[in-house]
């Protein structure tokens, strides 16, 4: 159905009884100030839900609602509308029926978009309505990596791919996305792989060679998802292109290499760390995405709440001492340290760091990169920083006795020192430092506290549903007493917005141990971690990782299954 009468969204919603005149006036006033679309403002103000918005438009305009999760867009329809037009107007062609193009739209009142698609497709359009989030996901799915790979393979034969490999070394630049040769199929392929990873909020891109094919996967919210499996013929050109962009030697395929490059996407500067490692089927390449705009620099944004937040904030007020953040690789330790340093960063404070690598550049903080070739290690770098008149220092990781001794000495001479350790919980950090050779009296005098953390995935807000907890699952919740009535928890059904996983985004769970007089006595006694843990729970009401996670389960933030994935049952 084509919409020819020019209508205004506010008028349509008032006529449908979805909003009031007063709500419309308030939203229009805000739109005038901010320039944000009216529909988004109405949703942000919760004057109506997205379902109510879609139903009102559908009823008043006579336009059917389409659920894109139940639709497989046909290639014949997709070929009628170019990707840039689909992205610009938030539309997705899904089928051709009776000589007419079936078009899903986020805004069916956009007559200009309908006209543009009609002209480009060369046929009349039947409009359907769906959410903007579903349109975006559909565009990524149908115009994304898989489609671009098909186009690249179609445009290039194997011989052409080999020529692309040679051309990449000459024409690609190490610091930007493909420039001079940006229209070459392999250059376009690399660009689409990176851009889709950014759209999907991926932290890493894996390019993995197999015996007969290539596999591309994205790590999203800590879990790997398969994006596509391009043919083996694109492998050499694709990997060579990435290696040249990362300023790596494309002729060297038998030894591991590290490199990196930066690029601008949507006005933002994105940094990429690249690692190449030989395997029996070819070079495996992993790209780590560092997007500063997504770095959480406020402790409140990390999920640190209640007593844990109060205790950590109290630790930050100490003028000297060692504060440790512990957890496995990828648990968000660096983000927490950066958030703490950002809070402490004042004009009258000198903050120095030694990191491997410097993941994000922080304004007003002097950061040093570990460089073994220049004899800059954590230990030598930390020793050098102490001669730079610092107030606060951060060392990326305590790995050995020398680094730990220097950090302790710095704390004892009036500095506040932050660092990380790989331990399973907060009490375990104390025994780990003892294993590194730190004397108990030095540890008791210098250590301020330990924060242990993990990251758990959050329930997708688009497909969140409630359910009644079964009697079998109640013991896992560690409740003080059986609930008097059925207990309700939440989970994600799985939708297009969350790639059918039921989760979107991550949040931290924390365990904060303050070194009090009671803790110092145990340290001097060389007490085992379990005794320290029990004393911390008894004397300072320490919430364990599991406790903090359970509170987030009961609050509907994450699921019991996700918590079981990252913690032990106490």
User: Cα-flanking dihedrals φ and ψ of residue 75, to 5°?
Assistant: -65, -30
Distance CA 201, CA 194 (A): 11
By three-state DSSP, how is residue 398 classified? coil
The pair of three-digit structure tokens given for residue 491, joined into one six-digit string: 């989970």
Residue 381, C-beta contacts closer than 8 angstroms, at least 6 positions apart = 354, 368, 370, 395
Q: What is the pTM of this model?
A: 0.74
Distance CA 132, CA 106 (A): 5
190-to-137, 146, 194, 196, 216 alpha-carbon distances in Å: 20, 12, 6, 10, 11
Residue of 108, 104, 101, 107 whose CA lies nearest to 124 = 101
Determine the angle formed by the axes of helices 378-385 and 401-412, rounding to 10 degrees.
20
- E runs forming strands in 165-213: 202-209
Q: What is the DSSP letter of 36?
A: -
Q: Are 394 and 419 in contact (CB under 8 A)?
A: yes
With residue 128 as reference, give the H or E element that holds it. strand 125-129
The pair of three-digit structure tokens given for residue 547, joined into one six-digit string: 């406790």
- Residue 496 burial (10 A CB sphere; 0-12, 13-18, 19+): buried
Long-range contacts of 266-273 (CB under 8 A, 24+ apart): 268/292, 268/293, 270/198, 272/194, 272/246, 273/357
282-to-165, 272, 295 alpha-carbon distances in Å: 15, 21, 34
373-to-256, 369, 378, 379, 384 alpha-carbon distances in Å: 17, 12, 13, 14, 16
Q: Look at the alpha carbons of 238, 242, 245, 247 in this order and tell me if their dihedral is positive or negative.
A: negative
Distance CA 285, CA 344 (A): 37
**How many helices (H) and strands (E) in the chain?**
22, 18
Rounded to the nearest 10°, the torsion over CA 158, 160, 165, 170 is: 180
99-to-68, 104, 113, 123, 142 alpha-carbon distances in Å: 21, 16, 19, 7, 21
**For residue 564, how far is the Cα from the chain centroid?**
21
CA atoms within 13 A on the CB side of 156: 29
pLDDT tens-digit profile, the chain (570 residues): 445 455 677 888 888 788 888 888 888 888 787 777 787 788 878 888 888 888 888 887 888 999 887 788 887 899 899 888 998 999 999 999 999 999 999 888 888 999 999 999 999 999 999 988 889 888 877 887 666 666 666 665 544 555 555 555 444 444 444 444 544 678 888 888 898 898 888 999 999 999 988 999 999 999 999 888 888 888 999 999 999 999 999 999 999 999 999 988 777 889 999 999 999 999 999 999 998 777 777 888 899 988 999 999 999 999 999 999 999 988 999 999 999 999 999 999 999 999 988 988 899 999 999 998 899 999 999 999 999 999 999 999 999 999 999 999 999 999 999 999 999 999 999 999 999 999 999 999 999 999 999 999 999 988 899 999 988 888 888 887 777 788 999 999 888 778 789 999 999 999 999 999 999 999 999 999 999 999 999 988 899 999 999 999 999 999 999 999 999 766
């Amino acid at each position: 159905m084509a919409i020819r009468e020019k209508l205004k969204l506010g008028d349509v919603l008032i006529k449908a009884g979805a909003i009031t005149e007063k709500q419309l006036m308030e939203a229009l006033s805000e739109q005038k100030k901010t320039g944000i679309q009216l529909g988004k403002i109405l949703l942000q103000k919760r004057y109506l839900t997205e379902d109510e918005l879609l139903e009102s438009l559908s009823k008043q305009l006579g336009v059917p609602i389409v659920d894109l999760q139940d639709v497989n867009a046909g290639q014949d329809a997709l070929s009628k509308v170019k990707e840039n037009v689909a992205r610009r107007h938030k539309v997705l062609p899904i089928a051709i029926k009776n000589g007419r193009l079936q078009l899903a739209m986020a805004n069916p009142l956009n007559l200009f978009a309908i006209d543009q698609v009609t002209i480009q497709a060369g046929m009349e359009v039947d409009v359907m309505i769906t959410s903007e989030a579903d349109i975006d996901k559909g565009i990524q799915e149908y115009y994304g990596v898989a489609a671009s790979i098909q186009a690249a393979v179609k445009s290039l034969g194997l011989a052409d791919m080999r020529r692309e490999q040679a051309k990449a070394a000459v024409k690609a630049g190490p610091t930007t996305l493909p420039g001079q040769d940006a229209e070459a199929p392999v250059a376009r392929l690399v660009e689409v792989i990176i851009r889709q990873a950014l759209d999907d909020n991926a932290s890493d891109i894996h390019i993995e060679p197999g015996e007969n094919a290539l596999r591309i996967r994205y790590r999203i919210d800590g879990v790997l998802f398969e994006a596509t499996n391009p043919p083996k013929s694109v492998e050499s050109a694709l990997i060579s292109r990435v290696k040249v962009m990362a300023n790596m030697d494309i002729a060297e395929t038998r030894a591991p290499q590290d490199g990196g490059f930066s690029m601008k996407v949507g006005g933002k500067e994105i940094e990429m760390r690249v690692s190449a490692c030989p395997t029996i089927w070819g070079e495996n390449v992993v790209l780590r995405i560092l997007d500063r705009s997504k770095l959480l620099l406020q402790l409140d944004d990390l999920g640190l709440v209640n007593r844990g937040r109060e205790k950590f904030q109290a630790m930050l007020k100490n003028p000297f001492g060692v504060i440790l953040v512990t957890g496995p690789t990828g648990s968000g330790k660096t983000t927490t340290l950066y958030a703490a340093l950002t809070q402490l960063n004042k004009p009258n404070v000198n903050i120095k760091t030694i990191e491997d690598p410097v993941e994000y550049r922080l304004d007003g903080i002097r950061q040093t990169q570990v460089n073994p070739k220049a004899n800059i290690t954590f230990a030598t770098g930390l020793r050098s920083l102490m001669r730079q008149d610092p107030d606060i220092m951060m060392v990326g990781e305590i790995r050995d006795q020398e680094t730990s001794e220097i950090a302790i000495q710095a704390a004892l001479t009036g500095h506040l020192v932050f660092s990380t350790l790989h331990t399973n919980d907060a009490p375990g950090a104390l025994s780990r430092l003892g294993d590194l050779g730190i004397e108990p009296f030095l540890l008791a005098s210098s250590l301020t506290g330990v924060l242990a953390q993990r990251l758990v995935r959050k329930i997708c807000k688009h497909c969140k549903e409630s359910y009644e907890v079964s009697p079998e699952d109640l013991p896992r919740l560690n409740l003080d007493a059986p609930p008097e009535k059925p207990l309700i928890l939440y989970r994600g059904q799985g939708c297009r917005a969350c790639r059918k996983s039921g989760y979107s985004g991550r949040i931290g769970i924390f365990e904060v141990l303050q070194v009090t007089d009671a803790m110092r006595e145990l340290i001097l006694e060389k007490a085992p971690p379990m005794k320290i843990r029990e004393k911390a729970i008894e004397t300072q009401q320490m919430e364990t990782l599991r406790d903090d996670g359970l509170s987030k389960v009961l609050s509907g933030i994450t699921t019991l299954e996700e918590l079981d994935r990252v913690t032990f049952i106490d």
